[in-house]
Amino acid sequence: MNSPSAAIPARSYQEVRAKLLNKEEIALLDVREEDPHAQAHPLFAANFPLSRVELDAYGKLPRRDVAIVTLDDGEGDAQLAASRLLTLGYTDVAVFEGGMRGWQAAGGEVFRDVNVPSKAFGELVEASNHTPSLSAEEVRALIDEKADVVILDARRFDEYQTMSIPTATSCPGAELVLGVAQLAPHPQTRVIVNCAGRTRSIIGTQSLINAGVPNAVSALRNGTIGWKLAGQVLDRGQLRRVGEVSATTTGAWSLKARKVADRAGVARASLGQVRSWQLQRDRTTYCFDTRTPEEYAAGHVSGFRSMPGGQLVQETEMVVPVRGARIVLVDRDGVRANMTASWLAQMAWDVWVLDEADACAFSETGAWQPPLPAIPAHREVSVAELAHWIATPGQVVTIDLAKHVQYVQGHVPGAYYVLRSQISASLASLPLAAHVVVTCPDGLLSRVAAAQAEQVLGRDVQVLAGGTNAWKAALQPMETGESHLASPPIDRYKRPYEGTDSGQQAMQAYLDWEFGLVEQLRKDGTHHFWVLQA
């Protein structure tokens, strides 16, 4: 067994590639922040930032003896992450030999952006099935003609609210089959599926075709990006959502969804089997509930994590970093788990659907709580005391370890945004004060990182009790915006397809990149993807 103090072994390109080719379990973890990860990484390198290793490990790496290889670009973060994983009890941990430069020198294919396995698979689906699509101009003409057409937005509801195609209704990916049954009950109604770019509209359209929807179905070619590039105007802040579907309709479509999953080779598991798998020591099993978070919170099977089906297909590596693992899905309608499973099977996952789980099995309530190690205690300061210090200039420096987007939305006045992975360099630039306080939204990461901050600063550091959430709950004033950035905001990659301010050049470059993914898959050769023919 390795120990944190032992020399951490290195794994070569040939060793990692062999595991991928043999479909053996391996977690290739890119421990850089999301932006540098998105600039260049191997196809199946899951982003697993050094900043959050202690908080993410147990939820995302459930088996402690799984083969783990950490990757960086020569900064030394891979070694640090490996050491932290060993401290957490993982026993088969190594660093990738030579980092990203080593991968490229060995001839490994390099990919840009995030969620690349899913996006590349979507392009393969379209190339194989010639998934029908309509241009922005054609869809605009249908809207203007008041044609019998329904537009379904396959993204998350918050993405839909940011910007949407006029008249579109929010219907996240796994809900599409049920959404069509409700909004387009007549076969002559034309159905158009959109997302921001290409992947979710391609997968969504092909889902409806695979399930045997009688309507003419097309993807909006290039999604909201294509709409904007065509000079069309997007709506903002829309609230249209698919409502509840009748039990009769759900029952009919559950049979069709099951047939699609059966064609894809999806297996069936009992609850007893799943419980035994969760205790298995030589195999990793992930369990997901594919319904909405609201349905999950109202009642779910214990041990299953909430992950709506469409997002699971889109963001698989974010929640399933162990390539080669087993995945079990569940729902209450027989549609969402089966349709989601059909796609994961084509992406070469060992995927099962939990069968015959009665209502009693869905007895646990509330949001999913990730398993955590023992979070170290640390000296705390109350909200009231911190507020008193802030009122006196020079009394306190507050360090906020929140994600950049959280920091911008609201932070303790005067707090400095600091990335934990950049903590040594960032703290050196801060002013001196009588007190130093570390915070984060829920107070967990600040407790984990407090000792590290003390080591860097060479002085005592305190933690805000309850984190920034407690500060906000006490109705203390909040500051917004990028007021004090002590670290570069590289914890999130700015997607060219999100928000409303992306330039035309960036959007077109993103589409051009997506078009090239099928060829990159061919060069890489480790994916094992296949496509079900409609």
Residue 386's pLDDT is what? 98
**pLDDT-based confidence at 507, cuts 50/70/90?**
confident
* CATH numbers and ranges of domains, the chain: 10-111 (3.40.250.10), 120-244 (3.40.250.10), 266-361 (3.40.250.10), 380-473 (3.40.250.10)
pLDDT at res. 1: 39
Q: Is the pTM of this model over 0.85?
A: yes
Q: Which residue from 518, 534, 445 is spatially nearest to 198, judged by alpha carbons?
A: 518
| Residue 330 pLDDT | 98
pLDDT value for 5: 45
Residue % of the chain over a pLDDT of 70: 98
Question: Residue 7's pLDDT is what?
Answer: 87
Tell which residue, 402, 462, 455, 412, has the closest CA to residue 433.
462
Q: Is the pLDDT of residue 497 over 70?
A: yes
pLDDT of residue 504: 82
As beta bridge partners, residue 399 has 416, 438
What pLDDT does 2 receive?
45
Distances (CA, A) of 377 to 336, 372, 401, 424: 42, 14, 17, 22
Stretch 33-49: mean pLDDT, rounded? 98
What is the rounded average pLDDT of the residues 345-370? 94
Q: Mean pLDDT over residues 324-341, rounded?
A: 97
- 3 state DSSP class of 256: helix
- In this model, does residue 291 exceed pLDDT 90? yes
Residue 469 pLDDT: 98
Q: What residues form DSSP beta bridges with 233?
A: none
Mean of pLDDT values over 50-67: 97
Q: Which amino acid appears at position 480 of this protein?
A: T
What mean pLDDT is predicted for residues 139-146?
97
> Which residues, at least 6 apart from 248, have a Cβ–Cβ distance to it below 8 Å?
none
The DSSP code for 7 is: P
In the predicted model, what is the mean pLDDT of residues 265-282? 95
- Determine the pLDDT at residue 6: 60
* Residue 485: pLDDT over 60: yes
Q: Helix 176-183 crosses helix 336-346 at what angle (to 10 degrees)? A: 130
Q: State the chain's mean pLDDT as an integer.
A: 95
- Scan for tokens 């490994």, then name that residue: 108
- Residue bearing the bigger pLDDT, 244 or 436: 436
* Confidence (pLDDT) at 506: 83
Q: How many Å apart are CA 324 and CA 305, to the nearest integer? A: 19
User: Quick one: pLDDT at residue 499?
Assistant: 62
What confidence category does residue 495 fall into, taking pLDDT thresholds of 50, 70 and 90? confident
Residue 130 pLDDT exceeds 70:
yes
Residue 373 has pLDDT above 90, yes or no: yes
Asked if the model's pLDDT at residue 259 lies above 80, the reply is yes
* CB-based contact 38:77 (threshold 8 Å): no
Lowest mean pLDDT segment, chosen from 130-134, 243-247, 351-355 = 243-247
Residue with tokens 């390539």: 323
What DSSP assignment string belongs to 399-459? EE-S-HHHHHH-BSTTPEE--GGGHHHHHTTSPP-SEEEEE-SSSHHHHHHHHHHHHHHTS
Q: Given this model, what pLDDT does residue 245 score?
A: 87
Predicted confidence band of residue 501 (pLDDT cuts 50, 70, 90): low
Average pLDDT of 453-476? 97
Give the Cα separation of 174 and 353 in Å (integer). 14
